[in-house]
Amino acid sequence: MYIVQVASECAPVIKSGGLGDVVFGLSRELENQGHAVDVILPKYDCMRYDHISGLHQAYDDLSVPWGNGSIRCTVLGGKVHGLNCFFIEPHSNENFFNRGKYYGDNDDNLRFAFFSRAVLEYMCMHNKRPEIIHCHDWQTGLLPVMLFEQYKYRGMDGQRVCYTIHNFKHQGGGSVGILGATQLNNEGYYLSPDRLKDSSIPNHINFMKAGIVYSNAVNTVSPHHAWEARFSNEGYGLGHTLAVHQDKFKGILNGLDYEVWNPEVDEHISMLFGPDDFELKDLNKKGLRERLWLEEKDRPIIAYIGRLDDQKGVGLVLHALEYALRRSAQFVLLGSATSDHLKNLFWQTKNRLNDHPDVHLELSFNEELSHLIYAGADMMVVPSNYEPCGLTQMISLKYGTVPIVRGVGGLVNTVFDYDNDENHLPEERNGFVFHQTDPGALESAMHRSLELWYTDRQAFNKLAIQGMRCDYSWRKPVEQYIEVYETIKA
């Protein structure tokens, strides 16, 4: 099959979180299984050019209809670690993707509506006719609308769309002006409740709803979160739309690219190790301490890696830090804040603890350092409020870093409690799970993990090794995606 992935991120060239990992890992595994894949992305000024080889002009003078006129684009092609990628570069005064950041401007909805339109225009003009166009998250929600309402009549009637939702909270959308900009127009038609109309903001269209209504298949990134999105308030207002379209909606667990996330081959870490020589992990712990100026002593290191966002349970992250110190453990945090308020909060904490020999807070995005932390820490806390899938716990498992997670979303599908999990045998368990959102709940899970580390190191290591042996590669999830593609293709 020929598949085109369309997204706003693809690791490691463009990554702000898990979306980038998924687009890259999924595409690579599809190729491994014999399919042809292209990835189409915006060309941001701030992307990591050092990960692209053979960057060249693939299409010049692409004129993309927009508003009352058009915007000229260049399309660049290149390989990202072997993967065929195309980058769309618009030339206009708006400088859509030259803002020194990926997201966070008031016109984000317009920028990505334009991107979606440009992708279709490029495929149309360049005679790219994949069987499947796989769109990701709100940024590409309008693409299936434009495909089936506009481009179908311009020779693209054989394409089918799979739409993957990584985060229901961010749905994209805006006033009906966007319909004019994309030349969909026809307000009366699109603003109906069974099409694009937002369920809470009057006269607004909703991109994610558009993606759900118009795509041939829709999924989110774990089975448990698919259930939550439909039957709890985690669909953030889209529960009804999902119910209407339930026959084409399901959950497919994310995978990990084990060529990137694997302590047996990881080029970033100082000492390679696997489940059979787990004791070598200690050398990575030592290296991590040296790198972060932590005191060398016989103590566990507890880590947090992730966006600092309300989604991630930031109050509990700070509590985990305080509790770790109370229990004489060390704590390492790597995160970038998604709001000024959280940025200030974490900078204050960092300044307060700057000289503490047992704490390091790194408030930036640093891919290389993340590998060192996964390899060197003993435990990873993931106290999320909601978590569609979660990659940090799966990466931690592969690196023998025992996850301590809240039992929500994909965390339920991947972490099985050491003490209480009726559905898994003791030898299948791999971490510690708590359920409530209060500090006491987190503490009880951290307590159980720390007690095991302090009193029975052998049992703790055995648990970590069991985690390393779990298979969260892309092999199985990709089979499920291929099944979806086969079902919907023309």
Ligand X SMILES: Nc1ncnc2c1ncn2[C@@H]1O[C@H](COP(=O)(O)OP(=O)(O)O[C@H]2O[C@H](CO)[C@@H](O)[C@H](O)[C@H]2O)[C@@H](O)[C@H]1O
- Min dist CB 388 to ligand X, Å, is 4
Name residue 133's amino acid: I
Strands laid side by side in the 330-334 sheet: 359-362, 330-334, 301-305, 379-382, 402-406, 432-434
Alpha carbons 145 and 182: distance in angstroms, whole number: 10
Per DSSP (E only), the strands in 325-401 are 330-334, 359-362, 379-382
Nearer to ligand X, 78 or 306 (CB): 306
Residue 476 is assigned to a ligand binding site: no
Cα angle: 483, vertex 87, 482; to 5 degrees: 5
Binding site for ligand X (CB under 6 A): 17-19, 21-22, 166-167, 221, 254, 305-307, 334-336, 365-367, 370, 387-392, 410
Q: Which of 259, 374, 307, 218 is nearest to 27 (CA)?
A: 259
Q: In angstroms, rounded to a whole number, what is the distance separating the alpha carbons of residues 247 and 232?
A: 18
Q: How far is the CB of 390 from ligand X (least distance, A)?
A: 5
Nearer to ligand X, 383 or 390 (CB): 390
105-114 burial, b at 16+ Cβ within 10 Å, e below that, comes to eeebbbbbbb
Of 255 and 300, CB closest to ligand X: 255
26 or 329: CB nearest ligand X:
26
Smallest gap from Cβ 222 to ligand X, in A, equals 8
Tell me how far, at minimum, the Cβ of 94 lies from ligand X, in Å: 26
Q: How far apart are CA 302 and CA 324, in angstroms?
A: 7
> In this complex, which beta carbon is closest to ligand X, that of residue 346 or of residue 460?
346
Q: Which of 455, 462, 449 is nearest to 320 (CA)?
A: 449
Q: Which residue number, 3 or 179, has a Cβ lying nearer to ligand X?
A: 3
Residue nearest to ligand X (CB): 17
Min CB(382)–ligand X separation in Å: 8
Quick count: other Cβ atoms within 10 Å of Cβ 11? 23
Q: Give me the least distance between CB of 305 and ligand X, in Å please.
A: 5
Tokens in use for 237? 């207002």
Phi, psi of 53 (to 5 degrees): -115, 150
The annotation places the binding site for ADP-alpha-D-glucose at 15
The annotation places the binding site at 15
